[in-house]
Amino acid sequence: MEKHQAQHAADANLYQELFARVPIGLYRTTPAGNIIDVNPALLRMLGYTDKEALLGESATSVYANPESRKLWRAEMEARGTVSSFEAEWKRRDGSLIWVEENSHAVSDPGGLILHYEGSAQDITARKAIALELVQEKARFEQLFAAAPEAVVLCDNDAVVQRVNAEFTRLFGYSEDEVLGHAIDDLVASGLADLLAEANRVTANIASGETTFAETQRRRKDGRLVHVSILGKPVFVEGEQVGLYAIYRDISARKEAEGALAQETARFEQLFAAAPEAIVLCANDGSILRMNAEFTRLFGYSEDEALGRDIDRLVAPEINGLQDEAKGITQQIADGQSSFVETRRRRKDGHLIHVSILGEPILIDGDQVAVYGIYRDISARKEAEAALAASQAKVERLHEAADALGEAKSEEDVYRITVGAAEDVLGFSLGILCIAEDDEFICRAVSSSIDVEELGRTKINPHGVAVQSLETGQPIIVNDPTAESLPYGIPPSSRSLICAPIGKIGIFQAASATVNAFGDEDGRLLAILLGHTAVAAGRLRLQQELIRQARHDALTGVFNRHYFNEMIAQEVMRASRYNHPIGLLMIDVDRFKEINDRYGHQTGDMVLKEIADVLRDTVRQTDMIVRYGGDEFLVMLTETGEDAEEAAVRVRDAVFGSAKLREISGFDVTVSVGSIFWHPGTGTPIEEALATADARMYEDKRGR
């Protein structure tokens, strides 16, 4: 008996030693679920230092969700054991951990349960990894389904295992029609050369090589499409388990490249045949190319000029001309445009008057070269010298040129032009028209006649105005017949002068006096209109650049880049006048469905129509922004209207759009998140934007 008791005591001591030292959490509870013992590992797991804090407590208290304990007890009662039971436990500091429990009931010989004992292992890290894997798989599935390129997954034998929606759209097959088939048999059949090329590409990928190709592939309907193909093998733990290929439809790009080739050919023809001398230089001023007119104007052959410094070639070291030339070249090399009228030297040493237009050449924002356009203005300079007797006219012309250079709008350009022309020529009536399609549009007149009265008129291809435009020269008609007079010129006119404004329009003036205009008037008018053309071209270019920089190309509303520039100004203005700013974050519901069902063209039509609906719904002073993808943002400034009221109007307007319904085939709706930002709250505007975005998603979830 004593030996048995000693052995029992030794076993108990060994159990207690193991209970205390084992690295995983161990516990005992009463049949009712009260904790009667825990080991140090479990104390550490739960953040306790003294197990007295746990003894006597209900085991349910350590569960984050009491329902989990009920499930544990149900399994224990049913089986007498609990295996691999996962639940969230609460630590002493309130933080949560995931644990895996293995428990069993301890009973006496009569089957009465004495207590429960079990182990608990912290599996928080494992659960986090599992969750991350689930999320990563979900992200992959979303990307795979919504990818704008056609994606196909194959096994190592190039047999199709999966395709995305864009693949079925691009090649015209349903998913059932492609699964289990060799990829090349699907998209390269029917043409031996094409199939052989496709097999080579696939073989390269299957051999473990990343492969990129631009080629053609055949759709189900037999039509060939230009595609780029990026193919890669798929490896799992170092073993190649398959391959994938990404197909992008580059038909539009190929068409654009063809158009670019034609445009390049036209440019080369224009470059060669241009009436002005054109030279292309590196950024350091060394000559790269020149046209035939440059050779004729300066007398140098290509062999004599290529590679030489442009300023040393044509600018003599007299009267500061070479220093001036170097300054102009440096200005252009620094990225600035330059237009000057000066003198340059021919190969034979003769100095000629030239106008020089210099511009940097930018590709993707990087300056790669510069070009200069030289126009021989010697004849014009001689004419200007001959006009010394008419100094008042010349001075007026200079004033007009300065005014044109500072003009802020095309209307100002045309008004300045007509006023200057009237001072220089002295006519009864002057009309400035701009050519647009097959019409002349009156933009400015010298008399009391309203511009709107003249309006538009069809261009007479045989008229004086067209002759002047085509020749690029002024035309003077003395004693014209009434039938030959252009539209708007009174029948009583006895003299007429027409002169082109570059290629964009025509200026015509009439006088009741016979022989009122001479060659001198034609030259002066040509000079004036040359400045007019440059000023109008400059303003048109500026307006186009501003428009492109600020507006979304598809919808015509402001882009996000411009909004980011403007929001700081609006915040400052709102703070100065204590005005709130309303923000509506708008997202098109079911937009992916529209794209998937009807294609991206229909999706684009929906976006453009929604932009039109927004324009009709909000005030002109409110700012509409394409914030990204199918997301719009409306900024409401200086308004007393509640932002949610505006949101309701937007939702109703979109839902009520018959045109959107016609485009998509169902009622298009939008989710809108709204907020009013008040400057006095101290809340950053970025936080208000984030709140509007979150409310938009709440609105979407509520649909």
- For residue 307, the Cα-to-chain-centroid distance in whole angstroms is 39
Query: Strand locations in 526-628, DSSP E?
Result: 558-559, 581-588, 623-628
Cα–Cα distance list, 170 to 183, 361, 603 (Å): 14, 38, 16
Contact 274, 376 (CB under 8 A): no
What is the band of 409 on the pLDDT scale with cuts at 50, 70, 90?
Answer: confident
What is the band of 539 on the pLDDT scale with cuts at 50, 70, 90?
Answer: confident
pLDDT at 121 over 70: yes
Contact 298, 292 (CB under 8 A): no
Burial code of 42-63, b = ≥16 C-beta within 10 A, e = fewer?
bbebbebeebeebeeeebbebb
Task: Please tell me what DSSP assigns to residue 486.
Answer: P
Q: What is the pLDDT of residues 126-169, one digit of tens each?
A: 988 888 888 887 787 777 877 889 999 999 999 999 999 999 99
pLDDT at 5 over 60: no
pLDDT at res. 264: 76
pLDDT at res. 62: 94
Contact 685, 571 (CB under 8 A): yes
Give the other-Cβ count within 10 Å of 531's Cβ.
Answer: 22
Return the percentage of the chain with pLDDT > 90, whole number: 46
- Interval 319-345 mean pLDDT: 88
Domains of the chain: 2-126 (3.30.450.20), 147-253 (3.30.450.20), 274-376 (3.30.450.20), 387-544 (3.30.450.40), 551-701 (3.30.70.270)
- For residue 501, the Cα-to-chain-centroid distance in whole angstroms is 36
Backbone phi, psi, residue 285, to 5°: 95, 0
Q: Determine which one of 122, 249, 552, 630 is catalytic.
A: 630
pLDDT at 552 over 80: yes
Give the other-Cβ count within 10 Å of 539's Cβ.
Answer: 18
pLDDT at res. 414: 86
The closest of 270, 227, 232 to 250, measured between CA atoms, is: 227
Report the mean per-residue pLDDT for the chain: 87
- Interval 431-456 mean pLDDT: 76
pLDDT at res. 666: 86
Q: What is the pLDDT of residues 41-97, one digit of tens each?
A: 999 999 999 989 999 999 999 999 999 999 999 999 999 999 999 999 999 999 999
What is the band of 19 on the pLDDT scale with cuts at 50, 70, 90?
Answer: confident
Distance between CA atoms of 281 and 371, rounded to whole angstroms?
6
Q: What is the pLDDT of residues 152-211, one digit of tens each?
A: 999 999 999 999 999 999 999 999 999 999 999 999 988 899 999 999 999 999 999 999
Predicted model pTM = 0.36
pLDDT at res. 354: 92
Q: What is the pLDDT of residues 619-677, one digit of tens each?
A: 988 999 999 899 999 999 877 667 788 889 999 999 998 899 888 888 899 999 999 99
Three-state secondary structure call for residue 25: strand
pLDDT at 577 over 90: no
pLDDT at 14 over 60: no
Full 3-state SS string of 313-339: HHCCCCCCHHHHHHHHHHHHHCCCCEE
What is the band of 508 on the pLDDT scale with cuts at 50, 70, 90?
Answer: confident
Contact 79, 96 (CB under 8 A): no
pLDDT at res. 396: 82
pLDDT at res. 69: 94
pLDDT at res. 223: 94
Q: Is 552 a catalytic residue?
A: no
pLDDT at res. 13: 54
pLDDT at 10 over 60: no
Q: What is the pLDDT of residues 386-405, one digit of tens each?
A: 666 567 777 888 887 888 88
Least confident interval from 229-243, 283-297, 483-497, 559-573: 483-497
The closest of 516, 431, 525 to 474, measured between CA atoms, is: 525
The closest of 77, 94, 83, 80 to 120, measured between CA atoms, is: 83
Contact 495, 517 (CB under 8 A): yes
pLDDT at res. 387: 61
First vs last Cα of the chain: how many Å apart?
A: 78
pLDDT at 22 over 70: yes
Q: What is the pLDDT of residues 24-44, one digit of tens each?
A: 999 999 999 999 999 999 999
User: DSSP for 587-615?
Assistant: EETTHHHHHHHH-HHHHHHHHHHHHHHHH
pLDDT at 442 over 60: yes
| 694: its two tokens | 């979150």
- Interval 679-685 mean pLDDT: 86
More confident residue, 452 or 328: 328
